Homo-oligomer: A and B are copies of this chain.
């Protein structure tokens, strides 16, 4: 199972009639069990690319070879829950095969136990995002797509969930694509970090991280982080701001 991406270009025609180039040549490949991380400025075309890779948008120039018939788990950038179905029903509808112990465990990890019977309109944004995560994990995906999965969560929970995601990916050979603005997350989770330019997106750098996730020391992580920061040219690191 392998994902091969070669998007020559993708343009949107806005309702006002203007042409917007969003992707201007992105090519990379991803093997089963690998985690690819996409990092790029806001509005550069990451979500657009994920939609293309998931097969939701056939209107682009280029070629994408996806594992045929693979179960996809997609955490969209917004929760995209069915407002008229309870939290539990939302998860069960996407994953009819998931059994009760599995769901219980997921809800436990994501701290959603008290909210099983809530409707999405009764959740905080962070809770809704966690439901979207539960849904994506419940389908036991072979291809996992995460669009900023840890945004809107507090630091403690985010760090716990990051570890859970890592565990999940390592446990089974899930092919994962992660979009994040958090370089720390990128380095701790990714096997390959793909840096994108501002719109229209091009690949600035494709950095493989060869040390296995579990074995990465703080020093190595800091080194890769500063390497990434350096590549995103002209960008002051967050730590050094103000």
Please give the residue numbers on chain A whose beta carbons come within 8 Å of chain B beta carbons, in ascending order: 12, 14-16, 18, 20, 39-43, 46-48, 77-78, 86, 111, 114-115, 117-119, 122-127, 130, 148, 151-160, 162-163, 166, 181-184, 188, 232, 235-239, 241-242
Cβ A242 vs Cβ B159 within 8 A: yes
Q: Which residues of B contact A118 (CB under 8 A)?
A: 14-16
A119 CB to closest chain B CB (Å) equals: 6
| Nearest B-chain residue to A148, judged by Cβ | B152
Q: Which of B16, B117, B181 is close to A154, meaning CB atoms less than 8 Å apart?
A: B181
Q: Which residues of B contact A241 (CB under 8 A)?
A: 159-160, 162-163, 188
Q: How far is the CA of A14 from the CA of B181 in the complex (A)?
A: 34
Q: How far is the CA of A124 from the CA of B77 in the complex (A)?
A: 9
Copies of this chain, complex-wide, total 2
Q: How far is the CA of A15 from the CA of B86 in the complex (A)?
A: 10
A153-B181, A242-B163 given as contacts; is B43 within 8 A of A124 (CB)?
Answer: yes
Q: Which residues of B contact A78 (CB under 8 A)?
A: 78, 125
Q: Which residues of B contact A117 (CB under 8 A)?
A: 14, 16, 18
Determine which residue in A43, A124, A126 has the highest number of CB atoms from chain B within 10 A of its CB, and name it: A43
Q: How far is the CA of A242 from the CA of B239 in the complex (A)?
A: 20
Q: How far is the CA of A163 from the CA of B166 in the complex (A)?
A: 34
Q: Which residues of B contact A160 (CB under 8 A)?
A: 241
| Nearest B-chain residue to A183, judged by Cβ | B155
Q: How far is the CA of A188 from the CA of B242 in the complex (A)?
A: 8
Cβ B122 vs Cβ A15 within 8 A: yes
Cβ B47 vs Cβ A125 within 8 A: yes
Q: Which residues of B contact A159 (CB under 8 A)?
A: 236, 238, 241-242
Cβ A152 vs Cβ B151 within 8 A: yes
Q: Which of B39, B47, B153, B238 is close to A42, meaning CB atoms less than 8 Å apart?
A: B153
Cβ B242 vs Cβ A162 within 8 A: yes
| Nearest B-chain residue to A158, judged by Cβ | B238
Cβ B42 vs Cβ A152 within 8 A: yes
Cβ B86 vs Cβ A16 within 8 A: yes
Determine which residue in A124, A154, A181 has the highest number of CB atoms from chain B within 10 A of its CB, and name it: A154
Determine which residue in A41, A77, A237, A242 has the highest number of CB atoms from chain B within 10 A of its CB, and name it: A242
A43 CB to closest chain B CB (Å) equals: 5
